Amino acid sequence: MMCVMASAALAQKASGEPAINWSAPATIALTDDYTRIFPDAIVLWQHNKYLYLKYQEDLGPITYLLVYGETGQIYQQGDVIPAGFGGRLTEYNGEPELTNLFGFMPPIGHVEVVPDDIPVTDIGHDYFAHYVSLKHVTVSDLNGKNFKITDAQGNEAVGFNQFDQAVENGYYEELTGIIGSYARDVIVYEFLPIIWHDSFTVNCLEDLYELGAGYVGRIKLKAIYQNRSYLYVQDFCGQYGLIYGDIGIVINDGDIIEGTCTLSTYAGSFQLTPVGDWEVISHGPKVEPEVLPIEELTLDMVHWYVKIYDIEIAKMLSHNKYLIRDSTGGVIMYNRFDINIPFNGLKGYWESKLDVNKDGEINIADVNYVMEEILTGQHDTVGSRSYVIGFVGVYQGMIQIYPIEISEEDQRASCDVNWDNEVNIGDINMIIEYIIRH
């Protein structure tokens, strides 16, 4: 009957009820080196000589206790240890500890143990020996068994791998463990991990971005282009991103890579910083750039992989900086990766492309010329078409293109001005739009 009553009362404990205040006992007076016998107790965790219990005496408050030594028993979390066990109650690292053990018997029941959900800031005396859960925290500075825990607000606590778990740096949705302590003069409370829930693995860059700067997550990505510390990538949701830093491996376009990263911001945009080892897990097809005119580039397209046709390098603005144009507008091109820029050496300037009848003007006569070719089905061909492939960036609030390739493509039908491999009303509309704008 005692077991049933104690177990039922323990199950009713409110989350976060404080442990015994050893320095100034308020509920149960404890004396150092006092040998005593305990009532039924519930096992929170056992590891080697460490046994953490909670118990209730005479329907009083729930009490938490660290037992250290040989019990002669192997317990599972939630086991109910029958009353009659005991030992010498002493102080160790500022908290009560039971040693010189006797009377530990096999369990007489089993109850569910639910961790107290606490913030990082509550890791301290009031939760000593509690079984707790920490949500949305980052583990860093792993050094042997020691590590640091940080929450989303930047609050920090220390951790110690007392129970020899597989500890890794990274972001975690949840960690469960015991609150312990060390040092006698200036007591430090620490988190002792038991369950390391899977490191937060995201499927899309946007999922990682929503966590904000400083969070750490694991992600699988498609590699596009690597140059020095720059690695442009695409996730499996179609979004583009930049890993800035040494990932420790050389990649090829199309490689599928996986690793852990943290977030930082540069010029108002997120970029990834590698944390730990990255690896190539498979090889896929090359990522194809998005074909876009200059007028469709926007400030929220940072890191996009694009291909712009029919460009003219109109002006060299400064070292490695150029103005390029297509028929829809102009944009700054910055030669971040030191590729060969064929300044003034490109063919296929967009105005000559639209002047399909080659009379030196772009007007209704060009529209009629295209209409005639549509009706006759006879198409002349013209020379090559210029293009730039690169990545969208932003500098001082302005869009820039960081090129990785500038070249020309083979011949096309002279009236296929929009390069969709057909001569149709779309080509007429493109010429009319230019006439209206100019």
Cα–Cα distances in angstroms (integers) from residue 248 to residues 227, 409, 429, in the given order: 13, 35, 50
Of residues 29 and 178, the one with the higher pLDDT is 178
Kindly tell me if the per-residue pLDDT of 14 is higher than 80. no
Confidence at 197, pLDDT banded by 50, 70, 90: low
pLDDT at residue 245 is higher than 70: yes
Same fold, 2-110 and 290-437: yes
Given a cut of 90, whether residue 31 has pLDDT beyond it is no
Residue type, 249: I
Provide mean pLDDT across the span 362-390.
85
Ranges assigned E (strand) in 359-418: 381-382, 385-395, 398-409, 412-413
pLDDT of 34 above 80: no
Tens-place pLDDT, residues 397-409: 899 999 999 988 8
Q: What residues does each domain of the chain span?
A: 2-110, 116-196, 201-283, 290-437
Q: Considering the domain 201-283 in this protein, what is its CATH number?
A: 2.40.50.140
* HSE-CB for 70 with a 13 A CA cutoff: 1
- Region 206-233: what's the mean pLDDT? 84
pLDDT of residue 419: 74
CA distance to 70, 100, 192, 227, 287, per residue, from 232 (Å): 56, 61, 38, 9, 11
Question: Mean pLDDT throughout 172-184?
Answer: 88
* Mean pLDDT (whole number) for 11-26: 34
What pLDDT is stored for residue 27 in this prediction?
A: 32
Residue 188 bridge partners (DSSP): 182
Is residue 213 very low, low, confident or very high in pLDDT (cuts 50, 70, 90)?
Answer: low
Is the Cα torsion angle 219, 222, 225, 226 positive or negative in sign? positive
- pLDDT at res. 437: 79
The CATH architecture annotation of domain 2-110 reads Beta Barrel (2.40)
Instruction: Answer yes or no: are the C-beta atoms of 45 and 79 closer than 8 Å.
Output: no
Name the band, by pLDDT with cuts 50, 70 and 90, for residue 29. very low
Report pLDDT for 387: 92
Q: What is the mean pLDDT of the chain?
A: 84
The 8 Å CB, 24+ separation contacts for 391-394 are 391/225, 391/232, 391/240, 391/242, 391/303, 391/304, 391/305, 391/306, 392/297, 392/301, 392/302, 392/303, 392/304, 392/306, 393/267, 393/302, 393/303, 393/334, 393/336, 394/267, 394/268, 394/269, 394/299, 394/302
CA distance 321 to 339: 12
Domain 290-437 fold is OB fold (Dihydrolipoamide Acetyltransferase, E2P) (2.40.50)
261 vs 182, which has greater pLDDT? 182
Determine the average pLDDT of the residues in 133-145: 87
Report which of 113, 115, 97 is spatially closest to residue 191, judged by C-alpha positions: 115
Amino acid residing at 85: F
Give the distance between the most distant pair of CA atoms in the chain: 108
Cα 33 to chain center, whole Å?
50
Q: Using CB atoms within 10 A of its CB, is residue 282 exposed (0-12), middle (13-18) or buried (19+)?
A: exposed
- pLDDT interval class at 18 (50, 70, 90): very low
Query: Given a cut of 80, is residue 158 above it in pLDDT?
Result: yes
Q: pLDDT tier at 60 (50, 70, 90 boundaries)?
A: confident
Q: Band of the pLDDT at 2, cuts 50, 70, 90?
A: very low
8 A C-beta contact, residue 359 and residue 300:
no
Q: Which residue has the tokens 């039908």?
A: 413
Is the CATH code 2.40.50.140 the one for domain 116-196? yes
At 256-283, the pLDDT tens digits run 998 878 788 888 888 998 876 788 989 9
CA-to-CA separations, 171 to 56, 199, 360, 430, in angstroms, rounded: 36, 6, 62, 50
* pTM over the 0.75 mark: no
pLDDT of residue 13 exceeding 60, the answer is: no
Separation CA 275–CA 168 (nearest Å):
11
User: Does 28 or 138 have the greater pLDDT score?
Assistant: 138
